[in-house]
Amino acid sequence: MSDFYCEQVLNGLTPVEVVQETDRVLAYHHTRPSYPVHIVVVPRQHVPSLEDLGAGGEELLTEVMRVVRSVATQVKAEHGASCVVTNLGEYQESRHLHWHVLFRGELPEGRA
């Protein structure tokens, strides 16, 4: 299984539009978005998954979640809603912990 984030994004082979970053975490607009707003949040060091934090441990997970929370709050403020998703097992196409922060599109009439 490949690690798109380490192989392409974090080493600069695939340029990305940064939304937010710290020394240890990067949030950027997805390179092939599936939604009107589709932001990916990844740790800068390799972390296999939510189940296997590798050498990153709980401290790095906490920092990643701070960025996820901040980005999700920003998306909600701008669009009225946000969705936060991560995948495990066969749903996890890239074996590097990552979170998707989304605005899926129009809200039902009268909801904002």
Please, which pLDDT band fits residue 14 given cuts at 50, 70 and 90?
confident
Res 88: pLDDT? 85
pLDDT of residue 111: 59
Q: How does pLDDT run across 59-110, given as a tens digit for each residue? A: 999 999 999 999 999 999 999 999 999 988 888 788 889 999 999 998 766 5
Q: What distances in angstroms separate CA 98 from CA 43, 50, 69, 109, one per listed residue?
A: 7, 8, 13, 32
pLDDT of residue 100: 96
Per-domain residue ranges of the chain: 4-103
What distance in Å separates the CA atoms of residue 14 and residue 98, rounded to the nearest whole number? Answer: 16
- Contact yes or no for 67/25 (Cβ under 8 A): yes
Architecture category of domain 4-103 in CATH: 2-Layer Sandwich (3.30)
**Structure confidence at residue 93 (pLDDT):** 81
Over 70: is that where the pLDDT of 5 sits?
A: yes
CA angle at 10 for the pair 6 and 27, rounded to the nearest 5°: 115
